[in-house]
Amino acid sequence: MRTDVAIIGAGPAGLLLAHLLAQDGIESVVIESRTQEYVAARIRAGILESSSVDLLTSVGLGAGVQAHGDEHRGIYLQWPSERHHLDFVDLVGRSVWVYGQTQLQADLVTASEAAGRTVFYDTSDAELHDLETDHPFVTFTDDAGARQRIDALAIAGCDGSFGPSRAAMPSDKRDSWERVYPYSWLGILADVAPSTDELIYAWHPDGFGMHSMRSATVSRLYLQVPNGTDVADWSDDAIWDALATRLGHGQDGWTLTPGPITDKSVLPMRSFVQSPMRHGRLFLAGDAAHTVPPTGAKGLNLAIADVALLAPALGRLVRKNDFALADAYSDTALRRVWRCEHFSWWMTTMLHVSGDPFDAQLQLSQLRWVTSSAHGAAGLAENYAGLPIGF
């Protein structure tokens, strides 16, 4: 088969890119190694920056966020005996939206199906070929076991941290940077109304705790746990007890209401960047090029920002054989990627205990500064609510 752009991966980056390209009259074919049901059910991110919401709205994908998303003015930062609210709207004039990645994925699938776009699910053995020529192609095995080939003018690697695109770049033409953190998150979904109106990020000597939410009836909460933690070692009662302690149940009359846990998982924390994000006719976007620890809520937003830059670049490449934006894509995207990498690392190291008492004093000092200085608070707010897509 022949198309303009072959896209590997039907996560948020891949499906949104297909949508943006279609708006510009550019054809694409998407291949995905998992089933549609599996991709739809993956519980992951839940915060959209205002620039992500603006972009989705501008391309006809904002109805779900507007109808079911929850706009938040800011977050709470706390440590034992103190809780402070940072109002992003007052500080930098921008808000964030609570909207689950599962909901966004569903919106993208609905739009893709309505437009009749071609998405191959449940594929295997994807391979990328002839990337340094003007006729690259992708081969894969479809869900019926037939070997397929897609010829395209460009290939978009939107296949996350474990897909083949990242490694398809020759090792002597790429650099990578990585930081593995000595802790993970134990995350739960619970069928209980959130005990807070906005997210709580809590520093605690026992470890970081966080109260997020997905809707008025579903809460999402996290605990810092050691790497290698087996989720089976944490009973529901033990999770709620630890959350109550770390989030300050009883402090100034605030209470944490427990409820039935419907999902439990352990998420390791890693920072990673591969550069450049382009090799020949292959362009990386989203987690295929970078990973951030989730503390800054940046992973999904970076995937959106990448494809917002990539779509016009591929549009000009396909329609006019004009490479100006394609040539600039990697450098432009990496500016924002590294800003978000820094912010995610900074939030993570400020809030997670390391066991070192000196680190703990530095963290508390940093938290006091961020919550008491207008300049410190504005810096956090500007990064959390999100810098402009072309930053």
Ligand X SMILES: Cc1cc2nc3c(=O)[nH]c(=O)nc-3n(C[C@H](O)[C@H](O)[C@H](O)COP(=O)(O)OP(=O)(O)OC[C@H]3O[C@@H](n4cnc5c(N)ncnc54)[C@H](O)[C@@H]3O)c2cc1C
Which residues from 94-133 bind ligand X, rule CB under 6 A?
101, 123, 126
Selected catalytic residue, list 201, 279, 293, 352:
201
For residue 163, count other CB atoms closer than 10 A to its CB.
Answer: 22
Is 384 one of the catalytic residues?
A: yes
Write the interaction track for ligand X spanning residues 283-322; mark x where CB under 6 A is met and - where it is not: ---xx------x--x-xx--x-------------------
Interface pick for ligand X out of 6, 18, 29, 39 (rule CB under 6 A): 39
> Among candidates 335, 336, 312, which has minimal Cα distance to 324?
312
Binding segment for ligand X (CB under 6 A), chosen from 110-118, 162-170, 194-202, 370-378, is 162-170
Does residue 6 touch ligand X according to CB under 6 A? no
For residue 171, count other CB atoms closer than 10 A to its CB.
Answer: 8
Query: H helices of the chain, where?
Result: 12-23, 36-41, 50-58, 63-68, 88-92, 101-114, 165-168, 236-247, 299-320, 324-351, 357-372, 374-385
Q: Total binding residues for ligand X by CB under 6 A?
A: 31
Is 293 one of the catalytic residues?
A: no
Which residues from 7-26 bind ligand X, rule CB under 6 A?
8-14
DSSP letter for each residue of 2-41: B-SEEEE--SHHHHHHHHHHHHTT--EEEE-SS-HHHHHH
3-state secondary structure of 172: helix
- Taking the least distance from each CB to ligand X, the nearer of 16 and 26 is 16
Interface pick for ligand X out of 163, 209, 258, 280 (rule CB under 6 A): 163
Location of structure tokens 């970081």 = 208
- Taking the least distance from each CB to ligand X, the nearer of 302 and 318 is 302
Does residue 150 touch ligand X according to CB under 6 A? no
Does residue 336 touch ligand X according to CB under 6 A? no
Does residue 69 touch ligand X according to CB under 6 A? no
**β-strand pairing of 154-157 with 5-8:** parallel
Question: CB of residue 86 vs ligand X: minimum separation in angstroms?
Answer: 18
Is 201 one of the catalytic residues?
A: yes
Is 84 one of the catalytic residues?
A: no
Does residue 30 touch ligand X according to CB under 6 A? no
Q: Return d(Cα 364, Cα 182) in angstroms, integer.
A: 20
Whether the Cβ atoms of residue 31 and residue 6 lie closer than 8 Å to each other: yes
Selected catalytic residue, list 290, 298, 329, 352:
298
Interface pick for ligand X out of 164, 209, 258, 280 (rule CB under 6 A): 164
Amino acid letter, residue 198: E
Does residue 209 touch ligand X according to CB under 6 A? no
- Phi, psi (5° rounding) for residue 152? -150, 170
Burial class, 65, CB count within 10 angstroms (exposed 0-12 / middle 13-18 / buried 19+): buried
Is 72 one of the catalytic residues?
A: yes
Contacts of 53 (CB under 8 A, 6+ apart): 62, 65, 69, 97, 99
Q: Mind telling me the catalytic residues?
A: 72, 201, 294, 298, 384
Residues that bind ligand X (CB under 6 A): 8-14, 31-34, 39, 44-45, 101, 123, 126, 158-160, 162-164, 267, 286-287, 294, 297, 299-300, 303
